[in-house]
Protein backbone atom coordinates (compact mmCIF):
# COMPACT_ATOMS: atom_id res chain seq x y z
CA UNK A 1 0.00 0.00 0.00
CA UNK A 2 1.43 3.43 -0.91
CA UNK A 3 2.30 5.98 1.76
CA UNK A 4 -0.34 8.65 1.15
CA UNK A 5 0.63 10.78 4.12
CA UNK A 6 2.95 13.74 3.85
CA UNK A 7 5.87 13.82 6.28
CA UNK A 8 6.84 17.24 7.64
CA UNK A 9 10.12 17.33 9.56
CA UNK A 10 10.23 19.64 12.57
CA UNK A 11 12.14 19.89 15.85
CA UNK A 12 10.95 17.58 18.62
CA UNK A 13 8.20 19.28 20.64
CA UNK A 14 7.04 21.68 17.90
CA UNK A 15 3.31 22.38 18.19
CA UNK A 16 1.00 20.58 15.75
CA UNK A 17 -2.14 22.53 14.81
CA UNK A 18 -5.47 21.38 13.44
CA UNK A 19 -5.85 22.46 9.81
CA UNK A 20 -9.57 23.23 10.26
CA UNK A 21 -12.41 23.21 12.77
CA UNK A 22 -13.67 19.75 13.65
CA UNK A 23 -14.29 17.05 16.23
CA UNK A 24 -11.64 14.64 17.50
CA UNK A 25 -12.73 11.13 16.46
CA UNK A 26 -9.55 9.27 17.39
CA UNK A 27 -6.71 9.63 19.88
CA UNK A 28 -4.33 6.84 20.70
CA UNK A 29 -1.20 4.86 19.98
CA UNK A 30 -0.41 2.12 17.48
CA UNK A 31 2.91 0.44 16.78
CA UNK A 32 3.21 1.94 13.30
CA UNK A 33 1.60 5.35 13.82
CA UNK A 34 2.79 6.08 17.34
CA UNK A 35 0.73 8.72 19.14
CA UNK A 36 -1.93 10.06 16.77
CA UNK A 37 -4.97 12.32 16.60
CA UNK A 38 -7.71 12.02 13.97
CA UNK A 39 -10.18 14.86 13.36
CA UNK A 40 -13.46 14.86 11.42
CA UNK A 41 -13.91 18.28 9.83
CA UNK A 42 -17.06 17.75 7.75
CA UNK A 43 -18.98 14.79 6.39
CA UNK A 44 -16.41 14.85 3.56
CA UNK A 45 -13.02 15.53 5.18
CA UNK A 46 -10.94 14.01 7.99
CA UNK A 47 -7.28 14.53 8.91
CA UNK A 48 -4.84 12.54 11.01
CA UNK A 49 -1.55 13.56 12.61
CA UNK A 50 0.97 10.79 13.47
CA UNK A 51 4.17 10.21 15.48
CA UNK A 52 3.38 12.83 18.16
CA UNK A 53 5.56 13.00 21.25
CA UNK A 54 2.46 13.83 23.28
CA UNK A 55 -1.07 15.18 23.01
CA UNK A 56 -2.08 18.74 23.88
CA UNK A 57 -3.97 19.17 27.14
CA UNK A 58 -7.66 18.35 26.78
CA UNK A 59 -7.39 16.53 23.45
CA UNK A 60 -9.61 13.45 23.63
CA UNK A 61 -12.30 11.76 21.57
CA UNK A 62 -15.41 13.95 21.13
CA UNK A 63 -13.67 17.28 21.81
CA UNK A 64 -14.32 20.13 19.35
CA UNK A 65 -11.18 21.78 18.00
CA UNK A 66 -10.66 25.00 16.08
CA UNK A 67 -8.48 25.71 13.08
CA UNK A 68 -4.99 26.52 14.34
CA UNK A 69 -5.54 24.96 17.77
CA UNK A 70 -2.61 22.98 19.16
CA UNK A 71 -3.56 19.30 19.24
CA UNK A 72 -0.17 17.75 19.99
CA UNK A 73 3.59 18.01 19.66
CA UNK A 74 6.07 16.67 17.09
CA UNK A 75 7.81 13.46 18.07
CA UNK A 76 9.11 10.21 16.64
CA UNK A 77 6.81 7.60 18.20
CA UNK A 78 5.85 4.46 16.29
CA UNK A 79 7.76 3.66 13.11
CA UNK A 80 9.58 6.98 12.72
CA UNK A 81 13.27 7.54 12.12
CA UNK A 82 13.29 11.12 13.38
CA UNK A 83 11.00 13.87 14.64
CA UNK A 84 8.25 14.74 12.18
CA UNK A 85 4.50 14.71 11.75
CA UNK A 86 2.92 12.45 9.15
CA UNK A 87 -0.17 14.30 7.95
CA UNK A 88 -2.92 12.12 6.49
CA UNK A 89 -6.05 13.27 4.73
CA UNK A 90 -9.34 11.49 3.97
CA UNK A 91 -12.02 12.50 1.48
CA UNK A 92 -15.29 10.57 1.66
CA UNK A 93 -13.64 7.89 3.79
CA UNK A 94 -10.75 7.26 1.38
CA UNK A 95 -7.21 8.30 2.22
CA UNK A 96 -5.88 10.63 -0.50
CA UNK A 97 -2.89 12.89 -1.10
CA UNK A 98 -4.06 16.29 0.16
CA UNK A 99 -1.60 18.07 -2.13
CA UNK A 100 -3.54 16.88 -5.19
CA UNK A 101 -7.00 17.84 -3.90
CA UNK A 102 -9.06 20.80 -5.04
CA UNK A 103 -10.31 22.09 -1.71
CA UNK A 104 -13.12 24.57 -1.04
CA UNK A 105 -11.98 28.18 -1.17
CA UNK A 106 -11.94 30.32 1.94
CA UNK A 107 -13.74 33.63 2.13
CA UNK A 108 -11.55 36.43 0.76
CA UNK A 109 -9.66 38.47 3.32
CA UNK A 110 -11.02 41.95 4.02
CA UNK A 111 -8.67 44.59 2.59
CA UNK A 112 -8.49 46.26 6.02
CA UNK A 113 -6.88 43.07 7.39
CA UNK A 114 -4.04 43.02 4.85
CA UNK A 115 -1.51 45.14 6.82
CA UNK A 116 -1.81 42.81 9.83
CA UNK A 117 -1.55 39.79 7.53
CA UNK A 118 1.62 41.08 5.85
CA UNK A 119 3.16 41.86 9.26
CA UNK A 120 2.37 38.35 10.52
CA UNK A 121 3.61 36.79 7.27
CA UNK A 122 6.91 38.66 7.48
CA UNK A 123 7.45 37.57 11.10
CA UNK A 124 6.73 33.94 10.19
CA UNK A 125 9.11 34.07 7.23
CA UNK A 126 11.91 35.19 9.56
CA UNK A 127 11.04 32.35 11.93
CA UNK A 128 10.95 29.80 9.11
CA UNK A 129 14.33 30.96 7.84
CA UNK A 130 15.88 30.11 11.21
CA UNK A 131 14.63 26.50 11.19
CA UNK A 132 17.05 25.35 8.49
CA UNK A 133 14.82 22.59 7.10
CA UNK A 134 12.98 22.38 3.81
CA UNK A 135 9.40 21.18 3.97
CA UNK A 136 9.36 18.14 1.69
CA UNK A 137 6.32 16.34 0.35
CA UNK A 138 5.97 12.59 -0.01
CA UNK A 139 7.32 12.76 -3.54
CA UNK A 140 10.30 14.83 -2.36
CA UNK A 141 9.39 18.05 -4.17
CA UNK A 142 9.79 21.28 -2.23
CA UNK A 143 6.45 22.81 -1.38
CA UNK A 144 6.02 26.48 -2.20
CA UNK A 145 3.20 28.39 -0.49
CA UNK A 146 1.92 31.06 -2.90
CA UNK A 147 0.40 33.08 -0.02
CA UNK A 148 3.81 33.59 1.53
CA UNK A 149 5.25 35.08 -1.64
CA UNK A 150 2.52 37.70 -2.19
CA UNK A 151 3.84 41.25 -1.95
CA UNK A 152 1.71 44.14 -0.62
CA distance 100 to 37: 22
Q: How confident is the model over 34-46, as pLDDT tens digits?
A: 999 999 999 999 9
Chain-centre distance for alpha carbon 41: 13
Q: Which residues contact 64 (CB under 8 A, 6 or more apart)?
A: 21, 22, 23, 24
Chain-centre distance for alpha carbon 150: 22
- Domains of the chain and any CATH numbers: 1-100 (2.70.70.10), 108-152 (no CATH)
Percent of residues in the chain assigned helix, strand, coil, to nearest 5:
20, 35, 45
* Under 8 Å between Cβ of 97 and 57: no
Q: What is the pLDDT along the chain (152 residues), one digit of tens a residue?
A: 667 899 999 999 999 999 999 999 999 999 999 999 999 999 999 999 999 999 999 999 999 999 999 999 999 999 999 999 999 999 999 999 888 888 777 788 889 999 999 999 999 998 888 776 555 444 444 545 544 444 44
* Under 8 Å between Cβ of 20 and 66: no
* Under 8 Å between Cβ of 64 and 23: yes
pTM here is 0.72
Neighbours of 106 (CB within 10 A): 8
Q: Name the residue among 106, 99, 96 with its Cα closest to residue 46.
A: 96
CA distance 45 to 59: 19
Give ∠ CA 25-105-103 in degrees, rounded to 5: 55
Q: How confident is the model over 59-83, as pLDDT tens digits?
A: 999 999 999 999 999 999 999 999 9
Amino acid sequence: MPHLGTDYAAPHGTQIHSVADGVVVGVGYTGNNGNFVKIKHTNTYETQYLHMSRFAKGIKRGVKVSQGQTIGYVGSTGLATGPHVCFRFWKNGIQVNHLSQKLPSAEPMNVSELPAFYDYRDKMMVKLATIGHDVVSQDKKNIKDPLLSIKP
